[in-house]
Amino acid sequence: MNAQAIESTADIVALEAGLDAAERDARALVEGLAEAAAGWRDRPGSWSVAECLDHLATSNEVYLEAMRGVAADAAAHNRTRKAPARPGVIGRLFVRWLEPPVSPWLKGRAPRLIRPRPAPALTDASNRFLASQKAVRAFLRRYSDIDLAGVRFPNPFIRGVRFSLATGLHVLEAHERRHLWQAWRTRRAAEQAIAGRP
């Protein structure tokens, strides 16, 4: 195996590891969490733990839908990988912006398409997120041999912007880390508020 093949394999392993880490984090997040705490919000308009998970599930579904057709076409036309599955310069900046911790000055409003359902049940939201993780993992395994860094898809939220499939996968993982970080902060605040601690 040449150096390029080794590096290309390592990038897929790293993406899988990121998905695994997010799944472990989400499972730990909901373990032992009471429904009252799962639905608690620190202020009007903020999201509960359950809503964070629901948002992630919907985001993953919408992003994958935008990526699947392009990936299938690339596979049908034998567009095999030429470089590791890494974002380009603009993609890296966007991924970095998504990563936690999130500055209050850099928060954005989620597009209407992917806002969470109001007050979803924790089990439902958690199961939806885990199912979306399974779908992302299946996409990655199915298309790991195509040119993820070279094939582009239309960003479903930013009109006129096209990302590489590699950028899309890294965006999904950074977005998960962002909202799991948010959900953990919300869980801790909820449990303190419910327990009556300052």
Residue range 99-130, pLDDT digits in tens: 998 776 666 677 788 899 999 999 999 999 99
Q: Could you give the domains of the chain?
A: 3-195 (1.20.120.450)
Report yes or no on whether pTM surpasses 0.85. Answer: yes
Question: What's the mean per-residue pLDDT of the chain?
Answer: 91
pLDDT at 195: 84
- Nearest-angstrom CA–CA distance, 77 and 7: 23
Residue 104 contacts by C-beta under 8 Å, 6 or more apart in sequence? none
CA pair distance 64, 135, nearest whole angstrom: 8
CA 8 to chain centre: 22
Eight-class DSSP state of 32: T
